[in-house]
A = this chain, B = another copy of it.
Amino acid sequence: MERRRGAELETVLLDAAWDELMEVGYAQLTMESVAARAHTGKQVLYRRWRNRAELVVAAMRHHTGSIVDNVPDTGTLRDDVLGVLQRMADRFTTLGPDTIHGLMAEAPDLDPEVYRRMTGVMRTVVERAAARGEIPTADVPAQVLTAPTNLLRHEIFFTHEPVPSSILTSLVDDVFLPLVSGTPRRSG
């Protein structure tokens, strides 16, 4: 019997977890089913991850690299932000809301990190736009900076159909760009 070890085994485990996630979804995914799919025992899983949630998160990380790498840089703020949103939408659509909700419920310490990353991405995009002179300043309130990604995430969480692209454009054109372009201080 060929016995897998080290990185090779780990890849097999993570792939098994990912495949199981894609086929049956998070709610139906069990440690037993992943172990069986990888032709190994549960202990091998528990030696590496403390529970289902950690295993699935690791599988997700393994399957798709970080969003933070290669921030969109199209030359216009609008397309950059749309690019960011499009990537988020694509990514979460493949996961599906049940997986997301399940993970949120079981791995509560995990989420803040995930979404704080996007703040950095948006900051980069906005700073580039300001450097181009496209917007008056990169000094944008945090709530404005994170509004598009947060609203999209909200949409993904509460909607069970894929997010239509009209929502993405509306978030950019109706919400984000007006807030950063004019930045009209209220007269009151």
Contact = CB atoms under 8 A, between A and B. Distances in A.
A120 B183 CA distance: 27
A27 B101 CA distance: 14
Instruction: Classify chain A's interface size.
Output: 35 or more
Given A143-B151, A157-B157, A105 B101 contact: yes
Interface in A121-152: 141-144, 147, 150-151
Given A175-B179, A178-B184, A157 B108 contact: no
Given A151-B150, A170-B143, A184-B184, A157 B112 contact: no
Contacts of A72: none
As for how many copies of this chain the complex holds, the number is: 2
A179 B179 contact: yes
A185 B105 CA distance: 41
Nearest to A140: B174
Interface string A149-161: 0110111011110
A143 B157 contact: no
B154 A153 contact: yes
Contacts of A178: 178-179, 183-186
Given A154-B151, A158-B115, A108 B104 contact: no
A181 interface: yes
Interface string A168-184: 00110111011101111
Given A178-B183, A181-B186, 13 more contacts: A98-B105, A98-B108, A101-B108, A104-B157, A111-B158, A143-B167, A143-B170, A147-B151, A154-B154, A173-B186, A178-B186, A181-B188, A184-B184
